[in-house]
Amino acid sequence: MSKEFESVFFIEQLKRSDPFSMASDHFHETYEIYYLLAGERNYYINNLVYALRKGDLIFINKNELHRTTTKGRANHERVLINFQECFVQSTLDAYGVSFSFMKEPVLLLRPGAYEQGRLENILQAMLKEQKEQQTLQKPYLQTLLFQLLMEMGRIRETAREAIPPENNEKERKVYEIIDFLQAHYMEKLSLERLSDTFYISSTYLCRLFKQTTGFTIVEYLNYIRIKEAQTLLRNSTAKVTFIAEQTGFDSIAHFGRVFRQIAGRSPLQYRKQNR
């Protein structure tokens, strides 16, 4: 599979026997499907924590901040899919079909044994097709992805209720902090201000936030700011200096450095590629 093709559709099966947590939180302009074949994982998505167990499938929308970390035993095995909207849209249009969950930030499914078997058959067919590199590979994979999305839609329809994220006292406090960051990201935010706002020490604040989300406060705040900057770069003609100010950066140099670190390109390059 060429790198150009991998940019619109990518699938990978991976098994790990040692503890593994993603080194950094990230977001991207592709949809993500994560199926846990074995083990347990914590999945941090924006301000919520989802505990995954064997057979769970999680769907993450484009540009949603996320990271996976170790939970319980270190051993786990998963299948990961990333795909661009353009890869599946023509198939959806051809059948006049849309899936409401593709407009939501996240969907966690806990299928039964029979449903797990159907999902795993489709995933294994995808992996086999990717490996064998036969003719008409792209439409074949598009068809398999469409089948997978239909199975997900059916499982969701028959589920009694949505599977909630983790929710204890510490996590509720962190969710409050995240809501505050999202509402005030354009302002100058210091640990002292956050500590005073939430009546907890800055040391405990940092430890609690990292333990609960897997991110440092600075990491999370930078991702919020860059995500907002990307929206402004795509949807406005505002100058980069103005966008840097509007998203809470104290200098254009700092903005450019953080933007390149997260987005992998400069703000101007991003605007040119997404206009």
3 state SS of 77: strand
Residue 26 reports pLDDT greater than 80: no
Token pair of 185 as six digits: 């990201």
Residue 1 reports pLDDT greater than 90: no
The angle that helices 217-235 and 202-213 make with each other, rounded to 10 degrees, is 70
The secondary structure element, H or E, covering residue 4 is helix 3-6
Q: Could you give the residue ranges of the DSSP H alpha helices within 159-246?
A: 169-184, 191-198, 202-213, 217-235, 240-246
| Residue 52 to residue 71: CA distance in whole angstroms | 9
| Residue 13 to residue 78: CA distance in whole angstroms | 6
Least confident residue range of 37-46, 67-76, 97-106, 170-179: 67-76
Q: Which residues contact 265 (CB under 8 A, 6 or more apart)?
A: 273
Place 82 in a pLDDT band, splitting at 50, 70 and 90: very high
pTM over 0.75: no
Residue 114 reports pLDDT greater than 60: yes
Place 268 in a pLDDT band, splitting at 50, 70 and 90: very high
Choose from 22-26, 133-137, 211-215 the range with maximum mean pLDDT: 133-137
Amino acid 155: pLDDT? 93
| Residue 118 to residue 33: CA distance in whole angstroms | 15
Q: In this predicted model, which residue has the larger pLDDT, 253 or 21?
A: 253
| Residue 16 to residue 77: CA distance in whole angstroms | 6
Q: Convert the pLDDT of each residue in 232-253 to its tens digit.
A: 999 999 999 999 999 999 999 9
Q: Convert the pLDDT of each residue in 180-203 to its tens digit.
A: 998 999 998 999 999 999 989 999
Q: Could you give the residue ranges of the DSSP H alpha helices within 48-168?
A: 85-95, 113-132, 137-158
Token pair of 51 as six digits: 């505990």
* Burial of 160: CB neighbours in 10 Å, binned 0-12, 13-18, 19+: exposed
3 state SS of 14: strand
| Residue 240 to residue 87: CA distance in whole angstroms | 31
